[in-house]
């Protein structure tokens, strides 16, 4: 049994499978997941687990070079945006796109991880980097 890091075997396998520039999406409980995308559903109840809890664990193991966020998060969920900015602290490129484009781009991701988050626009696409 793993002692640290990602305990969920499906998420752990997806992160281990990531190559340079592959995408992994994490989002709130209401995000529509396109047909054919591997959906890893972690939602237990409203708010559990939170978007940030899940993101924090993923960031322990995944090298990220760029993130994609919905432009709408700036106005509609500035608290989550501030938390995301603190996690990346200017070390990662951030691209803001429309929420509709973000939802469409989920289909390019290796997987979508659904959290129990119930605040608006708590969605992110992580682009993997390299450690060398």
The pLDDT assigned to 2 comes to 86
Can you give the pTM of this predicted structure?
0.96
Q: How many residues does the chain have?
A: 132
DSSP 45: B
105 is in an annotated binding site: no
Given a cut of 90, is residue 14 above it in pLDDT?
Answer: yes
The pLDDT assigned to 72 comes to 98
15 three-state secondary structure = helix
68 is in an annotated binding site: no
99 is in an annotated binding site: yes
Give the β-pairing of 23-27 and 124-128.
Answer: antiparallel
The pLDDT assigned to 112 comes to 98
- Catalytic residue ranges: 20
The pLDDT assigned to 90 comes to 81
């Amino acid at each position: 049994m793993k002692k640290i890091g990602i305990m969920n075997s499906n998420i752990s396998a997806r992160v281990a499978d990531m190559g340079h520039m592959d995408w992994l999406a994490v989002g709130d409980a209401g995000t529509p997941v396109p047909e054919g995308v591997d959906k890893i559903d972690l939602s237990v109840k409203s708010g559990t687990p939170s978007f940030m809890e899940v993101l924090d664990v993923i960031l322990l193991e995944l090298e990220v070079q760029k993130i994609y966020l919905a432009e709408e998060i700036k106005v509609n969920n500035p608290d989550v945006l501030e938390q995301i900015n603190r996690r990346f602290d200017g070390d990662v490129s951030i691209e803001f796109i429309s929420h509709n484009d973000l939802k469409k781009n989920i289909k390019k991701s290796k997987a979508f991880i659904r959290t129990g988050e119930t605040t608006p626009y708590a969605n992110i696409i992580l682009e993997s980097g390299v450690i060398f």
